[in-house]
Structure 1
Amino acid sequence: MRRIILISYLICLILLVSSKAYCQIHIKFQIGGQEKEVIPRVESVVMQNDSVISFSTFNTSNTELTIPAKGAYKISLSAHNYQPWESNLNLRNDTVINVIMQKSPIALQEVVVKGTKTPTVTATGETFYLSSKARKEKDPFKALSEIPVLNVNPISQSITTRDGSSPLILIDGRLVNSGINPILPADIESVTVEDVVSARYLDQDINKIINIHLRKERPLYLYFEERTRHDIPLRKGFVGSNFEIGRSHFAVYGSVFYNYLTKDRIDYETLEKQNNQQKQLIGSNISRKNDFDLKLLFKYEPNARNYFAWNISNRISNMHKSATYNGEYLNNNISNKMTADDHTKDKSNGWLGSFFYEHTFKDKSSLDVYSYFNHAKANRRQQYAEHITSDLIPTFLSLDNIRNQVGLDVDYNGVRHKYGQIEAGNHFLYTHDNLWDNVFSPSVLTHVSQSSNYSYISYSKVWKKIMLMTSVGLQGLFVKVDSRSDSYWRPKTSVAIGFRVSKSQTARLSYTLNNILPSPQQLAPVSSSVNPWQKVEGNMNLRPIQTHDLALTYDIKILNWLRLQTFAKHKITTNMIESFLRKENNYVIQSYRNNGCYNIWNTGFGLSINSNSVQAYLSPALNWEHYEGGNRLSSWGLNGNLTWWALDQMAIQVEAEWKNKSYSAISITKYSNPMSANISMAWYPTDNIQISAGITYLGGIREQITTIDTPNYYQRQKMSFHSESFRPWILFAYTIRKHNKLRIENKMPYFDMDR
Structure 2
Amino acid sequence: MNFTLETRSIMLDNVVVKGRSSRAISKGHIFYLSKKAKESGNPFIALQEIPLLYSDPVSESVRSSDGQSMMVLIDGMRVNSGISPIDPSRIKSVEIIDVVGAKYMRQGIKRIMNIKLKKTSLYTYAQLSTRADYPEKSGFVMPKFEIGNSRMSLYGDASFGIGHSRKENSYKLIAPKLVKEYSGESREKNYDYDYSLMTKWHITEKDYLAAYIQGNASKETNGNISFGEQNKHRITRDNTSDYRSHLFSATAYYKHLFSKNEEMEAYAVYSDNRADNTNSLEENVSGNGGVNTQKYNNDRKLMTFTLDYSKDFDNDGSLNIGNETQYSYDRIENTGIGNYLFGHHRLNEFVFAGYSGMLARKLTYDATLGMEYVSMKSDSISHHYFKPRLSLGMYYNITNSMSTRISYTYSNTPPSVAMLNPYNTSADTLLVSHGNPFLMPSKTHSFGWNASYFRGGIGLGTSISYGMSSDIIEPVHFVKDNGVLLTTYYNMGRFRSLQLKYNMSWRVKGFFFLMDMAYNVNYYTTVGAKKHFTGMLILSKKWGKFEARTTFSYQNYINTEFSRTKNYNPESNLIFSYSFTPRHFTVNRMHKFHRQSEK
Aligned to 2:587: 692
Aligned to 1:240: 142
Is the 1:343–1:384 Cα contact (8 Å) retained in structure 2?
yes
Is the 1:116–1:132 Cα contact (8 Å) retained in structure 2?
no
**Structure exhibiting the larger radius of gyration computed from Cα positions:** 1
Q: Does 1:606 align with 2:507?
A: no
Aligned to 1:495: 392
Counterpart residue type for residue 120 of structure 1:
A
1:238 CA displacement: 0.7
Is the 2:219–2:242 Cα contact (8 Å) retained in structure 1?
yes
1:389 CA displacement: 2.8
Q: Does 1:117 align with 2:32?
A: no
Alignment of 1:478-493 (within 5 A): 478-493=375-390
1:594 CA displacement: 0.8
Greater fraction strand: 2
For residues 468-496 of structure 1, the C-alpha deviation after alignment (integer angstroms, 9 at most, x for no partner) is 22222222122221122222222222222
- Counterpart secondary structure, 1:404: strand
1:431 CA displacement: 0.9
Greater mean deviation of Cα atoms: 285-294 or 573-582 = 573-582
Aligned to 2:334: 437
Alignment of 1:195-210 (within 5 A): 197-204=100-107, 206-210=108-112
The one of 142, 152, 155 aligned to 1:250: 152
Q: Does 1:167 align with 2:63?
A: no
Aligned to 2:170: 269
Counterpart residue type for residue 679 of structure 1:
L
Residue identity (%)? 24
Going from structure 1 to structure 2, the CA distance change for 1:479 and 1:184 (only over 3 Å counts) comes to same
Aligned to 1:572: 468
Is the 1:198–1:494 Cα contact (8 Å) retained in structure 2?
no
Going from structure 1 to structure 2, the CA distance change for 1:566 and 1:200 (only over 3 Å counts) comes to same
Aligned to 1:213: 115
Is the 2:26–2:362 Cα contact (8 Å) retained in structure 1?
no
Q: Does 1:401 align with 2:303?
A: no
- Counterpart secondary structure, 1:144: helix
Counterpart residue type for residue 178 of structure 1:
S
1:337 CA displacement: 3.8
1:286 CA displacement: 1.3
Going from structure 1 to structure 2, the CA distance change for 1:591 and 1:190 (only over 3 Å counts) comes to farther
1:148 CA displacement: 2.5
Alignment of 1:300-699 (within 5 A): 300-326=201-227, 328-329=228-229, 331=231, 334=232, 336-440=233-337, 443-462=339-358, 463-531=360-428, 533-557=430-454, 560-585=456-481, 586-647=483-544, 649-665=545-561, 667-668=562-563, 670-674=565-569, 676-695=571-590, 697-699=591-593
1:596 CA displacement: 4.9
Counterpart residue type for residue 458 of structure 2:
L
Counterpart residue type for residue 451 of structure 1:
L
C-alpha separation in 2, matches of 1:560 and 1:393: 69
C-alpha separation in 1, matches of 2:93 and 2:564: 42
C-alpha separation in 1, matches of 2:569 and 2:156: 38
Going from structure 1 to structure 2, the CA distance change for 1:275 and 1:674 (only over 3 Å counts) comes to same
Is the 1:297–1:311 Cα contact (8 Å) retained in structure 2?
yes
Is the 1:172–1:211 Cα contact (8 Å) retained in structure 2?
no
Q: Does 1:281 align with 2:175?
A: no
C-alpha separation in 1, matches of 2:378 and 2:219: 29
Is the 1:266–1:285 Cα contact (8 Å) retained in structure 2?
yes
- Counterpart secondary structure, 2:147: strand
Going from structure 1 to structure 2, the CA distance change for 1:315 and 1:613 (only over 3 Å counts) comes to same
For residues 548-572 of structure 1, the C-alpha deviation after alignment (integer angstroms, 9 at most, x for no partner) is 2110112344x53333322110112
Counterpart residue type for residue 569 of structure 1:
S
C-alpha separation in 1, matches of 2:70 and 2:89: 23
Aligned to 2:38: 135
C-alpha separation in 2, matches of 1:194 and 1:539: 41
Going from structure 1 to structure 2, the CA distance change for 1:525 and 1:460 (only over 3 Å counts) comes to same
Aligned to 1:710: none
Q: Does 1:229 align with 2:161?
A: no
C-alpha separation in 2, matches of 1:412 and 1:469: 16
C-alpha separation in 2, matches of 1:698 and 1:118: 39
The one of 193, 198, 215 aligned to 1:297: 198
C-alpha separation in 2, matches of 1:267 and 1:122: 54
C-alpha separation in 1, matches of 2:438 and 2:161: 39
Going from structure 1 to structure 2, the CA distance change for 1:224 and 1:349 (only over 3 Å counts) comes to same
Going from structure 1 to structure 2, the CA distance change for 1:521 and 1:253 (only over 3 Å counts) comes to same
1:369 CA displacement: 1.0
Residues matched between the structures, number: 587
C-alpha separation in 2, matches of 1:35 and 1:543: 74
C-alpha separation in 2, matches of 1:267 and 1:287: 12
- Counterpart secondary structure, 2:435: coil
C-alpha separation in 1, matches of 2:553 and 2:424: 35
Is the 1:169–1:209 Cα contact (8 Å) retained in structure 2?
no
Counterpart residue type for residue 82 of structure 2:
G
1:435 CA displacement: 1.1
Aligned to 1:192: 95
C-alpha separation in 1, matches of 2:100 and 2:473: 24
Is the 2:92–2:118 Cα contact (8 Å) retained in structure 1?
no
Alignment of 1:696-735 (within 5 A): 697-699=591-593, 702-704=594-596
- Counterpart secondary structure, 1:213: strand
Going from structure 1 to structure 2, the CA distance change for 1:368 and 1:382 (only over 3 Å counts) comes to same
- TM-score when scaled to structure 1? 0.73
- Counterpart secondary structure, 2:109: coil
For residues 98-152 of structure 1, the C-alpha deviation after alignment (integer angstroms, 9 at most, x for no partner) is xxxx98xxxxxxxxx52552352655x5443333322221121222233323333
Counterpart residue type for residue 541 of structure 2:
W
Q: Which has the higher contact order (CA 8 A, sep 6+)?
A: 1
Counterpart residue type for residue 631 of structure 1:
G
For residues 312-361 of structure 1, the C-alpha deviation after alignment (integer angstroms, 9 at most, x for no partner) is 111111111111223x3153xx4x44332221111111111121111112
- Counterpart secondary structure, 2:259: coil
- Counterpart secondary structure, 1:575: strand
Counterpart residue type for residue 477 of structure 1:
V
Residue ranges of structure 1 left out of the alignment (5+ in a row): 1-33, 38-101, 104-112, 708-755
Residue ranges of structure 2 left out of the alignment (5+ in a row): 1-10
C-alpha separation in 2, matches of 1:543 and 1:174: 34
C-alpha separation in 1, matches of 2:297 and 2:567: 37
Is the 1:293–1:315 Cα contact (8 Å) retained in structure 2?
yes
**Cα RMSD for the two superposed structures:** 2.7
